[in-house]
Structure 1
Amino acid sequence: MIKVVFKSHNKEAFCSKGDTLLDIARKADIFIDAPCNGNVSCGKCKVKLLKGKVDTEKTRHISDEEWEQGYILACATKVIEDIEIEVPSKLSSSMHGMKIEGSDKKKDQQIFDRAKQIANEHDLKFEVNIKKKYIEIEEPNLDDNISDIDRLQRYVRNNLGFDHIDFGLSLLRKMPKIFREKNFKVTITYVEKKNKITILDIESGNTQGRLYGAAIDIGTTSVVVCIVDLQTNEVIDKASSGNAQIKYGADVINRIIYSSKGNGLETLNKAIIEETINQLLSSLYVKNNILKNNVVSIVVAGNTTMSSLFLGVFSDFLRQEPYIPPFLKSPNLMAQDLGLNTNESAYVYLAPSVASYVGGDITAGVLSAGIWATDENILFIDLGTNGEIVFGNKDYMMSCACSAGPAFEGGGISCGMRASAGAIEKVKIDKDTLDPTLQIIGECAPVGICGSGIIDLICQMITKGVVDRRGKMHRDLKNRRVRFNEHEIGEYVLAFKEEYNLENDIVVNEVDIDNFIRAKGAIYSGASTLIESLGMDFSVIDKVYIAGGIGNNLDIENSIIIGLLPDIDREKFVYIGNSSLVGAYLTLISKDAKFKLEEIGNQITYVELSVYPTYMDEFISACFLPHTNIEQFPTTKNLIGE
């Protein structure tokens, strides 16, 4: 066996000769950012070889200076003898996103207010059918010696008016002792269903208290868990973190590929359940003094791939033509089926998907956006790791998905990160000096740049003459902020390490810009193609709803200038935040909303862009700043003088 010492983590791992360094780190539970899942295309898994020899080669992602210092790509390195490795802290741009982040009470209230607004506007009642009740059952004797479960059934029929009860094996196993602890005085938690009830839990004595639910948004990059009081409908608290699956690829395609190999599916399922959702739940329980057995209802919204991996369902056919999902609606689920850290009998409802790449996060988002009930033509754009778009009104809803990649959440960008503490979220560049003014989340030293910051930066670079319309740096600039490496790849320095006492400069290079141009091009061309498929154009739009994790700091004007959004009346644009979480919350507290969500899943028509005749031409045209046809963007044309 060969020993690998990770000095930065004070950890040792053992492996066989020829194992890749990335696989060794994963097995040792050491996070190394690898958005491309180890196919040597992103260059983000750089580590430093301190001691020993390895089988590796220099790639374009490693500069001459870095190579001399011992930097190698973990995914392209095979271990052949004992070595010592250091994982640079600059990789913490993604690691930082894995940390659990607490609640923002103001934003939590916005979730509640938005859901209440939708409910009031469309007559959706806030009502749940889960209750908790203290009961006193007659104790058995020789004359009345029916079974414990029959005794409970008799009480329910005579006193609560339900003919039947359903229960699980776990409840049956605990019932005999629980009944006798307080002489058949117990508290039951149950769900009402017409003429029967399903008993979720039974406790000794009078333990009547709050019952809670959890609304969960599983994003490809980020996961949010919201704890809700089922009696008052109040959002008690919220926590978020990066999706631990990111260790195995930044996008759904790389994760699907990983899941299809060996025990990859089990690994990804464990990453989302045990390493992400359960960790978030536990943090909320401790902070708010909540017992997990009192969490009895769960609503989950995620894209089709995330939903499949959440259930541990093989999903490789999602990425292969004709792109068939394993399911659109999930079976009836209980927490114990999935290993969730809640009451094991808690109901788990998974928002229905529409197609292979339009999932439950979009149906939940459409629910919260109210598109299904309006006469106006609404363009709904979810700017997350996967760009999903819905266009329509109460009469019809069309949808598509764009292969935007993770750029809007910082993925695929050399110094990219989630919108969390340390992320550069706004950028302005001085026209004369080309020095940037940065707005950083948390008002601390910068760690990296998030999606909204990248949009600002590229807008500033095109309007201030740093890059041309292809996204390439102007070679004639004589400025310390603009430089070129030995491969003649240009980069712009957002923050010199000396300015903020960093290990390395924070830069955005031409490869990053190209990745982002492709991402924004996918969104714009997807929206354009979807509307064109109905024989319409952008002029028919009444409102554009922007959803997703890119944050409230998305600058609409800058997004239009770079060609992400259409150049139409600015008053039509509305940012609606995490619409998936709002929809999940609304479904959690309203039976009416759940029924409506089911209808939405059935009503949305999906357009497969990959086989649509004009899509590829439109996409190529949109991979420019702002577009090859600048006449579509008069605002940008006026700014850059073309």
Structure 2
Amino acid sequence: MINVKFLPAAIEIKAEKGENLLEVARRGNVFIDAPCNGTAACGKCKVKVIEGNVDTNGSHHIKEVEMKEGYVLACDTKVIEDIIIETSANQSDYLVGMKIEDLSGPKDQAIFERARAQVLNNGMRFCSYIKKDYIEIDIPTLNDNISDWDRIKRHLRNNLGYSKVFCRLPMLRRIPSILRESGFKVTITHIPRGDSRTTIVNMEIGDTTNRLYGVALDIGTTSVAAFLVDLYGGKLLAKASAGNAQMKYGGDVIHRIMYSTKKNGLEKLTYAVIHETINPLLRKMYSDAGIDKNEVTAFVAAGNTTMCHLLLGVYPDNLRLEPYIPAFSRAPFIKASELELEANPETFLYILPSIASYVGGDITAGVLASGIWTSEENVIFIDLGTNGEIVFGNKDYLVTCACSAGPAFEGGEISSGMRAAGGAIERVEIDKNSFQPKIKIINNEEPKGICGSGIIDLIAEMLKAGIIDRKGKINRNLPSNRIRFDEYNIGEYVLAFKDDWDIHEDITITEIDIDNFIKAKGAVYSGVSTLINSLGMDLSIIDKVYIAGGIGNSLSIDRAIEIGLFPDIEKEKFMYIGNSSLMGCYLTLMSEDARRKMEEVAGQMTYIELSTYPSYMDEFISACFLPHTDIERFPTVEKKLQHQDGSN
């Protein structure tokens, strides 16, 4: 056996000779970012061999100077002897510190209150289906010697009117000790069904009727975010977010579906999202709020269709195979204990319903939170996550589709890309004379990479400065040390030099990165165009555009239009609505009426399969240009570029 040691985690793993280095890391729970799932396409699994030799192949992702320093792609490297491997600092902390909406600023509060108003203004109540009651039960005597359980049922029948009371075995096992420790004075948490039936899910010593908690959870392909909620007042008590630990098995749903078909692949994916991602977030929130996990008795989650399958450990491969059939669209209520979620074991997890294989409950949640279902105007809803889902409609109709944007909007498949976390470059300006950049970094930390909003800014600024042409190719005749070409003649622009910032490596964007991002933005634009055209309409029909997803509040609408991500319509029509999936989960958690409305809306949505429209591929190819091959579709951008050409 060969000994493989990973730094800085100082984890040692035994490996077979010839075993793939990335698989060794995965087996030892060492996180190495691998969006392409080990096909050597993305170059993100770059690691440094500190000691020993490996069997590796050359790659354009590894520069000649890096190769001399010992850098290799883990996915394209075999273990042949004892080695010491160093993973980058970015990789070791990749799963923590995700930026989510704090809902504390005026703009964020406005988003929050607007979503609540959608519920209240449509006659729906904010009222949890979970109830708590303090009860003082008659103490047993020789003359009144019925069982503990019968004694509880008698009390609830006589005092609260429940003729049928239920509990499950784990609850029954706790009853004798809790009753005697409390002197038969307890608080029960229960779920009524109608006027006469209820199920007890928790029992606590004394009067704790002022403490009732639930969790809203958004399970994204790249990131997972959660709220801990006071179910009485709706107050957000704690929040937490992190990268989805499944990223080590692929950056998008297709790569993860493919990994699930491998031996024990599905089990590993389910374990990663529950035990390595969700449960640590829950523990953090409970600690921050000072509550016990057994006090959490309501749980609502949303995610795309693949994420929901992987969460439940349901085989997902049919999602990627024509005719793209999910195993379920509406999952049954599932107990937290069945998934080993860290909440009261009797808590039921409700998963918001999906619409189709590539339009999941996160979009259903977003439609609920955004209020499209009650709008008189024609609204486009765009979720700029890993998948790129789109909804168009109003109170009379809703149509939806998904486009294969990939993980580029969250930093995946971009050489220096990262999610929106501390150290991510989120805004960029470039001086058109010196080609020097001015950057804004999340939390004002040293730069670690560039997130989606920063990439949009950067490409738009490079286009306007003449650093790239409309195909995304770098101008080879500009006098700047920030523009350079490697031994493969692939051009790149240096956004931050490592020596200037004392960081591990230069932060750059390459022609390959730009091409990947152009394809991602082209998928979104062509999806919007095809969806509206399928109804016999054109883009002029749009009254409002709601932008959701992890790309964040830093997104510049102007820059997004300049690169052709969004249609060239009035800027005033655009609105960023935050993490609408998480907000929809919150509304569903707080209001049984909202949950019923959400299911009704889900049933009314019509899914459009873009691949069945012959015009879609033509639209996509035309959109893979900056901003578009048909520049007349972008009149304001055309004017800017003409002005720039004239000034040059």
TM-score interval, smaller chain: over 0.9
Map residues 188-587 of structure 1 onto 2, 5 A cutoff: 188-194=188-194, 195-587=196-588
Deviation at 1:112, TM superposition (A): 3.9
Aligned to 1:106: 104
Aligned to 2:74: 74
Aligned to 1:10: 10
Deviation at 1:46, TM superposition (A): 1.1
Deviation at 1:111, TM superposition (A): 5.8
TM-score by length of 1: 0.97
Deviation at 1:103, TM superposition (A): 7.5
Aligned to 2:57: 57
- Return the alpha-carbon distance in structure 2 between the equivalents of residues 410 and 638 of structure 1: 30
The one-letter code matched in structure 2 to 1:568 is I
Gaps of at least 5 residues in structure 1 are: none
Deviation at 1:98, TM superposition (A): 3.0
Q: Does 1:168 align with 2:168?
A: yes
Cα offsets for 1:435-467 (capped at 9, x unmatched):
000011111211110000000000001111000
Aligned to 1:140: 140
The one-letter code matched in structure 1 to 2:17 is K
Deviation at 1:90, TM superposition (A): 4.8
Where 2:210 maps in the other structure, the secondary structure is coil
Deviation at 1:91, TM superposition (A): 4.0
- Return the alpha-carbon distance in structure 2 between the equivalents of residues 629 and 311 of structure 1: 45
Deviation at 1:292, TM superposition (A): 1.1
Aligned to 2:84: 84
- Return the alpha-carbon distance in structure 2 between the equivalents of residues 492 and 100 of structure 1: 26
Map residues 548-627 of structure 1 onto 2, 5 A cutoff: 548-627=549-628
Aligned to 2:119: 119
**For the Cα contact (< 8 Å) 2:19–2:79, is it kept in 1?**
yes
- Return the alpha-carbon distance in structure 1 between the equivalents of residues 98 and 192 of structure 2: 35
The one-letter code matched in structure 2 to 1:66 is E
- For these two proteins, the number of residue pairs brought into alignment is 640
**Overall identity of the aligned pairs, in %:** 57
The one-letter code matched in structure 2 to 1:609 is L
Aligned to 1:159: 159
The one-letter code matched in structure 2 to 1:124 is M
Residues 342 and 387 (structure 1 numbering): CA distance in 2 closer, same or farther, change over 3 Å? same
Q: Does 1:36 align with 2:62?
A: no
**For the Cα contact (< 8 Å) 1:103–1:238, is it kept in 2?**
no
Where 1:106 maps in the other structure, the secondary structure is coil
Where 2:326 maps in the other structure, the secondary structure is coil
Where 1:516 maps in the other structure, the secondary structure is helix
- Return the alpha-carbon distance in structure 2 between the equivalents of residues 391 and 459 of structure 1: 27
Where 1:349 maps in the other structure, the secondary structure is strand
**For the Cα contact (< 8 Å) 1:621–1:629, is it kept in 2?**
yes
**For the Cα contact (< 8 Å) 1:49–1:71, is it kept in 2?**
yes
Deviation at 1:570, TM superposition (A): 1.3
**For the Cα contact (< 8 Å) 1:463–1:640, is it kept in 2?**
yes
Cα offsets for 1:498-538 (capped at 9, x unmatched):
21111211100001000100000000000000000000000
- Return the alpha-carbon distance in structure 2 between the equivalents of residues 611 and 412 of structure 1: 27
- Return the alpha-carbon distance in structure 1 between the equivalents of residues 256 and 223 of structure 2: 15
- Return the alpha-carbon distance in structure 1 between the equivalents of residues 517 and 142 of structure 2: 77
Gaps of at least 5 residues in structure 2 are: none
Cα offsets for 1:548-598 (capped at 9, x unmatched):
111111111111111000011111111111111111101110111000110
The one-letter code matched in structure 2 to 1:304 is T
The one-letter code matched in structure 1 to 2:265 is G
Deviates more, 1:144-153 or 1:409-418: 144-153
Residues 412 and 542 (structure 1 numbering): CA distance in 2 closer, same or farther, change over 3 Å? same
Deviation at 1:142, TM superposition (A): 4.0
Deviation at 1:105, TM superposition (A): 5.1
The one-letter code matched in structure 2 to 1:152 is I
Aligned to 2:179: 179
**For the Cα contact (< 8 Å) 1:97–1:420, is it kept in 2?**
no
The one-letter code matched in structure 2 to 1:145 is N
Cα offsets for 1:401-437 (capped at 9, x unmatched):
0000011111111111111111111100001000000
- Return the alpha-carbon distance in structure 2 between the equivalents of residues 554 and 102 of structure 1: 14
Cα offsets for 1:169-195 (capped at 9, x unmatched):
110111122222233222211112112
**For the Cα contact (< 8 Å) 1:90–1:503, is it kept in 2?**
no
Deviates more, 1:591-600 or 1:201-210: 201-210
- Return the alpha-carbon distance in structure 2 between the equivalents of residues 182 and 122 of structure 1: 43
The one-letter code matched in structure 2 to 1:351 is L
Deviation at 1:77, TM superposition (A): 0.8
Where 1:627 maps in the other structure, the secondary structure is coil
- Return the alpha-carbon distance in structure 1 between the equivalents of residues 273 and 639 of structure 2: 47
**For the Cα contact (< 8 Å) 1:112–1:235, is it kept in 2?**
no
Residues 104 and 459 (structure 1 numbering): CA distance in 2 closer, same or farther, change over 3 Å? same
The one-letter code matched in structure 2 to 1:346 is T
Residues 470 and 303 (structure 1 numbering): CA distance in 2 closer, same or farther, change over 3 Å? same
- Return the alpha-carbon distance in structure 2 between the equivalents of residues 34 and 572 of structure 1: 37
The one-letter code matched in structure 2 to 1:19 is E
The one-letter code matched in structure 2 to 1:146 is I
Residues 114 and 448 (structure 1 numbering): CA distance in 2 closer, same or farther, change over 3 Å? same
